[in-house]
A and B are shown apart, each in its own frame.
Chain A
Amino acid sequence: MIDQLSVFLPNKKGTLSTVAGALSDAGINMHVLVIADTAEYGIVRIVCDTPHAAARALSDAGLRATTTPVYAVRVPNTPGGLTQLLAYCEEKGLNIEYGYCFLLGEEGAIDVLKIDASAEDVLEAGGFEMVEPEEIYRVDEA
């Protein structure tokens, strides 16, 4: 599993910029940034280097930030890559809260999934390869 940086953003001008600024000031590089928006607030999900240090930097900046363990699964960068994974999750009754995809290097796509259950063994039994955090970002201690 990888540690995703999660940030709660009230719907106010300039808050996303505060997030980016605080990470930049802390010298933290982002690899993925996804925003989930609702009418009243947003949630920013980030994969970055040293996620725990990042969460602390954002908390110090007055933001509500935390790290969340999520599954990172390697899928082939070809049509149908994601379909296979989702079909398998459905078959096994794994409920996906949210997810997003990104490319890592040239060859592979990575699907990030939030599943509220212990799914690692189930996914691996289905032949899916879990991506280690070190492959994506610089790891740090909580």
Chain B
Amino acid sequence: MYYQPEIETMPREQLRELQLERMKWSVRHAYDNIAFVKKICNEAGVGPDDLTSLEDIVKFPFMVKQDMRDAYPFGLFAVPMHDVKRIHASSGTTGQATTTGHTTNDLTYWGDCFARGIYMVGGSQDSTIQVSYGYGLFTGGLGAHAGGEAVGCAVIPTSSGNTKRQVQIMKDFGTDILACTPSYALYIADTAIELGYDPAKEFKISGVILGAEPASENMRQEIRDKLGVQYCDVYGLSEVMGPGVAMECEVANGLHFAEDHFYPEIVNPDTLEPVPDGEYGELVITTLTREACPLVRYRTRDVTRIISEPCPCGRTHRKIDRIVGRTDDMMIIRGVNVFPSQIEQVITAFPEIATHYQIVLTREAQLDKIALNVETEPDFPIDEVRKIEDLKRRLGAELKSNLQVQVEINLVEPKTIERSEGKAKRILDLR
């Protein structure tokens, strides 16, 4: 079953025609209405008229996250505020957040993209979907919600947190599909088991749509086994839209890219040259229908590859493989994007703390934990517990308010944090 059969199974040639038509519109829309896009295109000596085939997109300059930060808050909006119906923002320190606007059409298409995934896990208008992603500026909650509404599901907006109640609702309301982060899905499953249930047998749930953070195959299998579900991996990023840019069908071998709304390229992150299908590289996205915030060749920093072989499920949109890494040092903590530079920025505002630091990522009870090892400066008085505790508390509060995640602070002895020449190994990921 497909949510939009005519689009999802559209013959490739016809799809490419649709893509080209939309790409021409999108690039022109961005060029005409966003001063920054016009500027970089002019500098690169290209314009909308140079786009006569899909492959011509490689002539255009890239856009990166820093461009969005520089344009904060609305510098990359291509429509007047009159037409903006919603604004999402990524986490980030003040002034560093990135904002994305959505028009009515943008929101409708977003719902459609996510809705395809609901059908992929066997959902329909008869399904009940529990959205345990956080609702708010983060796109997870409202994105999944829009998908559920597009399909016509009964949507339960539980948001994240209060896990025992999540279990209770899942059982009592007969949830068919759960949408959240993989680590939270596993946490819900474990909580249900602790409460004495066997969700795989006793609960109605049959599908999960999980994304916003990496998950190993072991973890996926554990979720499948514990909840007794089909697993749909959902890819998305708030700069481009939110969850639903690509979704994994029942074949479980890659995520169908919503090629009617987004044009994917894979480039070599060093040379920035396109690589052939099947080869790993950085995913670059050009939006095809976005009205409020169109993007031309946006570098996602996510590493994946294109799977172009026809999929047995019948969908013709090409797939991307699971994200295998990042080309920058971004960390994903409980679905929240965190850069070491954000932490560094906070640390430098504390004269008591030495600039050497180490970030340790662990997973406890299925939840990501982030700890920060820091040293105090030699003149910081270490003889009083109160002063040390006060420092830890202030640093912790500052990090929490900047990163939106709780960070455990460990003061360590001098020189236990590795000093290395050149690029220091700042992150220890034990997850």
> Which chain A residues lie closer than 8 Å to B381 at the CB level?
6, 66, 68
> Which chain B residues lie closer than 8 Å to A64 at the CB level?
375-376, 382, 413-414
> Which chain B residues lie closer than 8 Å to A43 at the CB level?
382-385, 388
> Which chain A residues lie closer than 8 Å to B104 at the CB level?
none
CA distance A20 to B38 in the complex (A): 69
Interface of A is mostly: strand
Is A137 positioned at the interface, with any CB of B under 8 Å from its CB?
no
Is A40 positioned at the interface, with any CB of B under 8 Å from its CB?
yes
Mask, B368-411, CB within 8 Å of A = 1, is 00000001101101111110110000000000000000000011
> Which chain A residues lie closer than 8 Å to B348 at the CB level?
none
CA distance A62 to B414 in the complex (A): 6
Once A63-B413, A64-B414 are accepted as A-B contacts, the answer to whether A36 and B382 lie under 8 Å apart by CB is no
Of A8, A38, A43, A63, chain B has the most CB atoms within 10 Å of the CB of: A8
Q: How many residues of B contact A (CB 8 A)?
A: 19
Of B376, B383, B384, chain A has the most CB atoms within 10 Å of the CB of: B383
**CB-contacts of A31-89 with B (<8 A):** 36, 38, 40-41, 43, 45, 59, 62-64, 66, 68
Is B415 positioned at the interface, with any CB of A under 8 Å from its CB?
yes
Interface residues on A, range: 20 to 34
Is B412 positioned at the interface, with any CB of A under 8 Å from its CB?
yes
B413 contacts A97, C-beta separation under 8 Å: no
Once A66-B383, A97-B386, A114-B383 are accepted as A-B contacts, the answer to whether A8 and B378 lie under 8 Å apart by CB is no
Of A36, A64, A114, chain B has the most CB atoms within 10 Å of the CB of: A64
> Which chain A residues lie closer than 8 Å to B4 at the CB level?
none
> Which chain A residues lie closer than 8 Å to B253 at the CB level?
none
Is B342 positioned at the interface, with any CB of A under 8 Å from its CB?
no
B265: shortest Cβ distance to chain A, in Å? 48
> Which chain B residues lie closer than 8 Å to A8 at the CB level?
376, 382, 388, 411, 413
Mask, A104-132, CB within 8 Å of B = 1, is 00000000001000000000000000000
> Which chain A residues lie closer than 8 Å to B385 at the CB level?
36, 38, 43, 98
CA distance A66 to B379 in the complex (A): 8
Is B416 positioned at the interface, with any CB of A under 8 Å from its CB?
yes
Once A10-B411, A41-B411 are accepted as A-B contacts, the answer to whether A4 and B416 lie under 8 Å apart by CB is no
A112: shortest Cβ distance to chain B, in Å? 11
Mask, B409-431, CB within 8 Å of A = 1, is 01111111000000000000000
> Which chain B residues lie closer than 8 Å to A97 at the CB level?
384, 386
Interface of B is mostly: loop
A62 contacts B415, C-beta separation under 8 Å: yes
> Which chain B residues lie closer than 8 Å to A40 at the CB level?
410
B386 contacts A6, C-beta separation under 8 Å: no
A4 contacts B383, C-beta separation under 8 Å: yes
CA distance A11 to B389 in the complex (A): 15
> Which chain B residues lie closer than 8 Å to A68 at the CB level?
381, 383
CA distance A37 to B415 in the complex (A): 22
B406: shortest Cβ distance to chain A, in Å? 15
Of A6, A7, A40, A45, chain B has the most CB atoms within 10 Å of the CB of: A40
A47: shortest Cβ distance to chain B, in Å? 12
A82: shortest Cβ distance to chain B, in Å? 20
A127: shortest Cβ distance to chain B, in Å? 28
Which residue on B lies nearest to A15, using beta carbons? B413
Tell which of B375, B384, B388 touches A98, judged by Cβ atoms closer than 8 Å. Answer: B384
A91: shortest Cβ distance to chain B, in Å? 22
Tell which of B375, B376, B414 touches A59, judged by Cβ atoms closer than 8 Å. Answer: B414
> Which chain B residues lie closer than 8 Å to A114 at the CB level?
383-384
CA distance A114 to B376 in the complex (A): 21
A10 contacts B383, C-beta separation under 8 Å: no
Of B376, B389, B414, chain A has the most CB atoms within 10 Å of the CB of: B414
> Which chain B residues lie closer than 8 Å to A45 at the CB level?
383
A64: shortest Cβ distance to chain B, in Å? 5
**CB-contacts of B78-128 with A (<8 A):** none
> Which chain A residues lie closer than 8 Å to B389 at the CB level?
38
B416: shortest Cβ distance to chain A, in Å? 7
The 6 A-B residue pairs whose C-beta atoms are closest, nearest first, are A6-B383, A8-B382, A68-B383, A64-B413, A97-B384, A64-B414
Q: A residues engaging B (CB < 8 A)?
A: 4, 6-8, 10, 36, 38, 40-41, 43, 45, 59, 62-64, 66, 68, 97-98, 114
* A-B residue pairs in contact (CB < 8 Å), sample of 5: A7-B382, A10-B412, A66-B381, A68-B381, A98-B383
Other CB < 8 Å A-B pairs besides A43-B384, A43-B388, A62-B415, 11 of them?
A7-B382, A10-B410, A10-B411, A43-B382, A43-B383, A64-B376, A64-B382, A66-B383, A68-B383, A97-B386, A114-B383
